[in-house]
Chain A
C-alpha cells in the first residue's frame, strides 16, 4: 500500500530563515506526491505536486519540494519563512485508485 511518513510533529523556524518540512514515501510504481497546507478552521490548500521529470518542483507562495528517488523523500522547502507560513502541512501520495493517503501532518511555527 502507498504511504507517506512525516517524522516530525512540529517544526520551529525563525522568520527569514529557510524552512524544511520532511516527508518520506513508500509506493509501488510511479509516485504521485502532493503537499497541502491547512490553516486553522480551513480546508486543505494545494501547494504543489510531483508527477515526473525535474526533481525540484515549484509551487504556490514560494514553496518548492525536492524529489529524491534514492532516499524516497519529498521534502518541502521555502528559502525564507514568513510568520504567515505558520500552519499545518500535509504530505500525501495518491494510490492506484485516486485515493490520497496522508501523513500525520507537521505543525510549522514561524517565530517573529
Chain B
C-alpha cells in the first residue's frame, strides 16, 4: 500500500507570494493533519480535516488555510508569505479522527523556503 505522498517536495518563494501544498493520504485513510516543522519551534500542529471539514486548528494566523476534497486529498495554502514561514510542512493521515489511539502516518514533507 502506498504511503502518504506530498507535492512538491521543494519550493522556493519570495515574500508576499502565496503557495499551495498538496497531500494524498494512504488509501482508505480519511483524516488528514498538517504540521509545521522549524528548528526553533519544532513540530507544531496546523489543522486537521475529515470528511471535507476542518475539525481542529492550531495556533496559526489566518494566512494559513486548507481544504480537503471528497477523495480525502488535502491542500494547504499560505498567503502573503513571510520569511518565518520557511519550514518543512508535513502531512499525516489516519483512518479516522478522534481521541483514540489511531496512528498518524507521515509523508516526506514539503520544504518551503521563503526569500
Query: Which residues of A come within 8 Å of B, CB atoms?
Result: 32, 34, 36, 41-46, 49, 51, 90, 92, 94-105
| Residues A94 and B90 in contact, CB atoms below 8 Å apart | no
Query: Which residues of B come within 8 Å of A, CB atoms?
Result: 4, 6, 31, 33, 35, 42-43, 45, 48, 55-56, 58, 90, 92, 94, 97-109, 111
| Residues A98 and B98 in contact, CB atoms below 8 Å apart | yes
Partner of A102, one of B42, B107, B108: B42
Contacts across chains A and B counted by CB atoms under 8 Å: 64
Report Cα–Cα, A28/B52, bound state, in Å.
Answer: 29
| Residues A98 and B55 in contact, CB atoms below 8 Å apart | yes
| Residues B56 and A97 in contact, CB atoms below 8 Å apart | yes
| Residues B43 and A43 in contact, CB atoms below 8 Å apart | no
Among A43, A49, A92, A96, max chain B CB count under 10 A is at A43
A-B contact pairs, 15 of them (CB 8 A): A32-B101, A43-B90, A43-B107, A43-B109, A44-B106, A90-B43, A92-B43, A97-B48, A98-B31, A98-B48, A98-B99, A100-B43, A102-B42, A102-B43, A105-B42
- Closest B residue to A36 by beta carbon equals B106
CB distance from A104 to the nearest CB of B (A): 5
Q: In the complex, given contacts A43-B4, A49-B103, A100-B43, what are 11 additional A-B residue pairs having Cβ atoms less than 8 angstroms apart?
A: A43-B6, A43-B108, A44-B106, A92-B43, A98-B31, A98-B98, A99-B33, A100-B33, A100-B45, A100-B92, A103-B42
